[in-house]
A and B are shown apart, each in its own frame.
Chain A
Amino acid sequence: KNQVEQSPQSLIILEGKNCTLQCNYTVSPFSNLRWYKQDTGRGPVSLTIMTFSENTKSNGRYTATLDADTKQSSLHITASQLSDSASYICVVSTTNNDYKLSFGAGTTVTVRA
Chain B
Amino acid sequence: NAGVMQNPRHLVRRRGQEARLRCSPVKGHSHVYWYRQLPEEGLKFMVYLQKENIIDESGMPKERFSAEFPKEGPSILRIQQVVRGDSAAYFCASSPDRTNTEAFFGQGTRLTVV
List residues of A whose CB falls within 8 A of some B CB. Answer: 4, 32, 36, 41-46, 49, 89, 93, 97-106
With both beta carbons as reference points, the residue of chain B lying nearest to A89 in the complex is identified as: B42
Interface SS, A side: loop
- The chain B residues found within 8 Å of chain A, CB to CB, are 1, 4, 6, 31, 33, 35, 40-45, 48, 55-56, 59, 91, 93, 95, 98-101, 103, 105-108
Inter-chain contact count A-B, CB under 8 Å? 59
Chain B residues near A104 (CB-CB < 8 A): 42
| 8 interchain pairs, CB-CB under 8 A | A41-B108, A42-B108, A43-B1, A46-B103, A98-B100, A99-B48, A99-B100, A103-B35
Residues of B near A44 (CB, < 8 A) are: 43, 91, 105
Distance in angstroms from A36 CB to nearest chain B CB is: 8
